[in-house]
Amino acid sequence: MEKTGLVEGDRIRLELNYGRTKDFVVEQYRDCLGVFISPEDRTAGKFTPLCEMYGRGPESEDKYLSNYGEYITNQVPIWMQLPKAGGKP
């Protein structure tokens, strides 16, 4: 899997319900990069790490391993990386 190239302070955009989008600043929390989706999540310590923000892509397939179960191949990031303030991504 490719590295994201994201670092703390970078901005990402997520698509929420009904096609709405929201921008977030990537943070480090408990040695992990990700975001707090809402102020309530921040208060409750419910952090969403980047590694949980992957989903199906055009080349994804359902596979099965015995003694493991079903899994999805070729997952892609479900966020869009936004340009830095200086205009460089």
Burial environment of residue 56 by CB neighbours within 10 A (0 to 12, 13 to 18, 19 or more) = middle
Q: What is the pTM of this model?
A: 0.79
Q: pLDDT tens digits for the chain (89 residues)?
A: 456 788 999 999 999 889 899 999 999 999 999 999 999 999 999 999 999 999 999 999 999 999 999 999 999 999 999 987 665 55
Backbone angles phi, psi at 84, to 5 degrees: -70, 165
Q: What is the DSSP code string of the chain?
A: -------TT-EEEEE-GGG-EEEEE-EEETTEEEE-SSHHHHHHT--EEGGG-EE--TT--EEEETTTEEEESS-EESEEEPPPTTS--
